[in-house]
Structure 1
Amino acid sequence: MPLVEGALAMTALTDPAFPKGWVQIQLERMAKEAEHALMDEPNPHVRLDGLIRLFYREWGFEGDEQQYFSSDNIYLDKVLDRKRGIPVSLGAIFLYLANHLDLPVSSVGFPTQFILKVTWYQGEVQYINPFDGEFLSMRTLRGWLKGAKGPFAQIGDADLANATNSDIIKRWLTVMKSALLREEQYTDALRCSDLALKMQPDDPHEIRDRGYIYQKLDCSHAAASDYSYFIEQCPEDPAAELLKLQVAALNEEPLTLH
């Protein structure tokens, strides 16, 4: 399914109150407005420039620099209402609109953030930062990568390859869980973790994170069980020794039925 549809399905599973129908109506309305404004333009380069102008200038969508890690920037209903988001949420909406306009735009899971790739029919390739709608040069992308991985990092073909929607959804889910943990919304974070484990069963790092959530929810023995699994699967991980102490302490706590 399209990326934005996958995001809607994912969010509905993690938040029972998520207004999926309202979001779909808003997206369809925006697509019709974009088609009305731009479909008469036969030149696809001009049509793309027009969509960027419409989305970021006229409609006023922008990256949230003040509260980047807020969950409001991840849930699409909040993003549509506030017109603020992060690269993956803004990018998913922009990609949805671009596809409605028959523009050759696709997803890229660049190591530092989600970006959009435009592959023109003549073989020319451009990259867009969905956070602000600006085109990205290779110099900028190399700078991002070196800033994240060190001065000797080099961009490889895999860094700029088209990403599958499932891979992007997994990264989106991880960001959502991190935001909810930061906001101490542990019950919602647990739903994210459970969904992530349905997508990647037995992932020791995800099970470790679920153990942390269980601990915050005072489910001590469930937390100890998850930590123990991580220790068994990743004994060389630097966190393993610290978690052994956590397991010992958690197992001493009385069993609480939830």
Structure 2
Amino acid sequence: MVDFELDDLEQMALIEGALELTAALDPGFPVDWVRLQLERLAKEAEVALMDEINPQLRLDGLIRLFYREWGFCGDQEQYFSSQNLYLDQVLDRKKGIPVSLGAIFLYLARHLELPVSSVGFPTQYIIKISWYDREPQYLNPFDGEYLSERTMAAWLKGHRGPFTELRCEHLDEAENGDILARWLTVMKSALLREERYADALRCSDLALAFRPGDPHEIRDRGYIYQQLDCNHAAAMDYEYFIEQCPEDPAAKLLKLQVKALHEEPLVLH
């Protein structure tokens, strides 16, 4: 299904890894067009900020250019739409979610030689700016606003509970493989919400190429098979999950589901 390895993705820019994954999911994805658009934006940014030698002012200029002049913004109305993950549509609509907007912004910032990196914060993707002479800054790629530790701590408490504390490891630089795995998870969820089950199945199979045997991913694939009326395949995936995660609360319900699936007539596809 894929002609690259996880190690290959780690060596690529995040945006290139995202392009490779999307092309693996959708052979018709216009990779070359996306690359041309990215190169055009990079050249525009370079020309607009060529006289700005101060790195902080160059970063502020890129934020202004990207979010105000070019009009990129987070999609508040259709946050969970797959449109926000296909980079051709993100570039065309100028709307996305943190990870897709962030991948584009990261590409442009690195083109301008700014010290930026990815952070897989528990609630969303954020960008870290690591200055050599002062504390790092954190940028929310959804709206281009700087994030305080107080804000990120509040996000974390809302996500994991009121006693959760913000720790240094929450703000560590993330590897591309981890970010792209989350990208795939969000993509799969969006495709399931849109009832695009065949596309979601390709997404799940690709995720399993990087996490072979992951019981939760196999459980999700079982659900997709069930929606596609592949009951025997669904039952096999559910049984694998039950065997691997017998204490999981979902296991008991899935045992009943497996029994019902085995009672269904076999459908040949």
Q: Is TM (by shorter chain) over 0.5?
A: yes
How do 1:32-111 residues align onto structure 2 when only pairs under 5 Å count?
32-111=43-122
Contact 1:52–1:133 (Cα < 8 Å) also in 2? yes
Mean Cα displacement is larger for which, 108-117 or 31-40? 31-40
2:188 to 165, 177, 189: 177
CA distance in 2, matches of 1:256, 1:169: 35
Q: How does the TM-score come out when normalised to structure 2?
A: 0.95
**CA offset at residue 149 of structure 1?**
1.0
Match of 2:35 among 19, 24, 27: 24
* Aligned mates of 2:152, 2:78 — CA distance in 1: 23
User: Which portions of structure 1, spanning 4 or more consecutive aligned residues, are displaced by more than 6 angstroms?
Assistant: none
Partner of 2:243: 232
Aligned to 2:222: 211
Alpha-carbon distance between aligned partners in 2 of 1:40 and 1:101, rounded to the nearest angstrom: 12
1:150 Cα offset (Å): 1.1
Query: Are 2:144 and 1:133 aligned?
Result: yes
Q: Match for 1:211: what amino acid?
A: G
- AA at the equivalent of 2:162: P
Structure 2 SS opposite 1:153: coil
Secondary structure of the structure 2 residue equivalent to 1:60: coil
Percent of aligned pairs with the same amino acid: 74
1:4 alignment partner, SS class: helix
**1:182-241 CA distances to partner (integer Å, 9 max, x unpaired)?**
000000000000000000000000000000000000000000000000000000000101
Residues of 1 paired with 2:17 and 2:157: CA distance? 31
Give distance in 1, aligned partners of 2:161 and 2:229. Answer: 40
1:149 aligns with 2:149: no
Match of 1:192 in 2: 203
Residue in 1 aligned with 2:6? none
**AA matched with 1:257:** L
User: SS in structure 2 opposite 1:128?
Assistant: strand
List runs of 5+ in structure 1 lacking aligned partners: none
The letter for the 2-side match of 1:187 is A
Please, which moves more after superposition, 15-24 or 60-69? 15-24
SS in 2 for 1:152: coil
Residue type at the aligned position of 2:70: W
Superposition TM-score, scaled by structure 1 size: 0.99
Q: Secondary structure at 2:229's aligned position in 1? A: coil
Q: Deviation digits for residues 64-123 of structure 1, max 9, x if unmatched?
A: 011100001111011000000000000000000000000001100001110000011213
- CA distances 1:3-48 after superposition (whole Å, capped 9, x unpaired): 0000000001111221111111100110111111112211011100
Q: Distance in 2 between matches of 1:25 and 1:108?
A: 26
Q: Give the structure 2 partner of residue 253 of structure 1.
A: 264
- Provide the residue aligned with 1:14 in structure 2: 25
SS in 2 for 1:127: strand
Matched-pair contact (CA < 8 Å) for 1:105–1:118: yes
